[in-house]
Structure 1
């Protein structure tokens, strides 16, 4: 299973979340640095759209591992909550197209 590791010690606010995400996921230069853009970039991981450096095969899942998640939860609990919500939303999008969920969140 491919893994994208977000370092929760580096994420203290939304700006740093989007900076870390852009680097870890390989988002394009025009990435909008908001959660709508984050969702859009991760909604087509099984397509060749170039919105992320990850490309999943059919039924493959990308594990989004948040390292030092307790530190992140302490510094910015709204980011953890929003991340959980958005991953569920993205997986619902995949289900709407008859595909298996593409993302798994692991808090370490």
Structure 2
């Protein structure tokens, strides 16, 4: 008669198997996260070079301009329009920033937004 593993050992084996399956399932997410992280880092550089002078270091507004951390995910079109065409005291950045740079800044802002 074969020896049966104790219940605790069976749970360990089941957990290990689940972790392996979960890890294989999450692999594409890890890649996407790495791509998003690269956009966020690039966006931080673009922001620091072009936007921080008015919108504050690390997105911390002095109160003189709009606090970009208040932008919600649904505000993307509004953001794109304001950046490209300007708004109030903000000059237009169309032709100065590429679409890719604007997208990178958006990712940086969303990574630091109040509402994720």
TM-score range, shorter chain: under 0.3
More helix by share: 2
Output the TM-score relative to the length of structure 2.
0.26
Output the TM-score relative to the length of structure 1.
0.27
More strand by share: 1
